[in-house]
Amino acid sequence: MLLKHCRLLLALAAAGSLLAQFGCNATRNSGGAQLTVSAASDLTPAFQEIGRLFEQQSGTKVVFNFGSTGQLTQQIEQGAPVDLFVAANVSFIDGLEQRGLVIPETKALYAQGRLTIWTRKGSELRIERVEDLAGPEVKRVAIANPEHAPYGMAAREALKRAGVWEAVSPKLVFGENISQTFQFAESGNVDAAIVALSLSIGSDGKWKLIPPELHEPLNQALAVIKGARNEAAARKFATFINAAEGRQVMRRYGFVLPDEEAAP
């Protein structure tokens, strides 16, 4: 009985910590209407721009919680106060829909992501293809954790389809999300990283696109969370992402839009 009581207290403490995280964000950004958006880490630079544009036009403050799609999904399942979820893979939105946690008619594709191999500007490594990561001169390679990060799942798949998974897997360092993965490479803690094109564009480094046929498409989707505190604003922001101004920003960061085709 005592063990059961302790487990209950631990569960409540964990939930309280999670909700406190969101509460602190809300406190720091209080004042006027506010929208809470959980978004995949590959969207960080693009959404910071889109968020500013939306705020200027709507007067609604946008508070972002960036992270790996899998971890953000778990937070929503545990009751985190999120208005809009913008995932890096539609399968996670589908899963939440099956559990009745999103408003079905708000589900929409907004982009397809691309993968790159990224190295520092001063690196002497010449990495042109995924197969090059198996070379002995490459000691450490970062990818996002494939257990919960869609870009990590795609990176693992690309390594397998290229036939170098067995050779590269002992070298792998896992980031909790694609932003942390990119930081490992930027800081020089790894020789190369497989990261999102959206993070490679505009960076001070060298990168090569990974052929899209090496992994399943990173079809990215969004949905408004059922019971959202600010459902109206969430719907407006979702529409804004897929409208002209949002699409212009997304295109600039290398995303393939739903009705467009990827460049080779």
Helix (H, G, I), strand (E, B) or coil at 139: coil
CA gap 63, 253 in Å, rounded: 21
Output the CATH code of domain 9-112+218-252.
Answer: 3.40.190.10
CA gap 227, 134 in Å, rounded: 48
β-strand 108-113 against 84-86: which pairing, if any?
unpaired
The two counts, helices (H) then strands (E), for the chain are 10, 10
Report the DSSP beta bridge partners of residue 20.
Answer: none
For residues 222 and 246, is the Cβ–Cβ distance under 8 A?
Answer: no
pLDDT bracket for residue 214 (50, 70, 90): very high
Model confidence at 12: pLDDT above 60: no
Domain ranges of the chain: 9-112+218-252, 115-209
What superfamily would CATH give domain 115-209?
Answer: Periplasmic binding protein-like II (3.40.190.10)
For residues 115 and 195, is the Cβ–Cβ distance under 8 A?
Answer: yes
pLDDT bracket for residue 17 (50, 70, 90): very low
pLDDT tens for 79-116 read: 999 999 999 999 999 999 999 999 999 999 999 999 99
CA gap 121, 221 in Å, rounded: 33
Mean pLDDT of 140-165: 98
Chain centroid offset of residue 239 CA = 19
CA gap 42, 112 in Å, rounded: 11
CA gap 208, 211 in Å, rounded: 9
CA gap 35, 61 in Å, rounded: 6
- Please tell me if the domain spanning 9-112+218-252 has the same topology as the one spanning 115-209: yes
Return the number of other C-beta atoms located less than 10 Å from residue 145's C-beta: 22
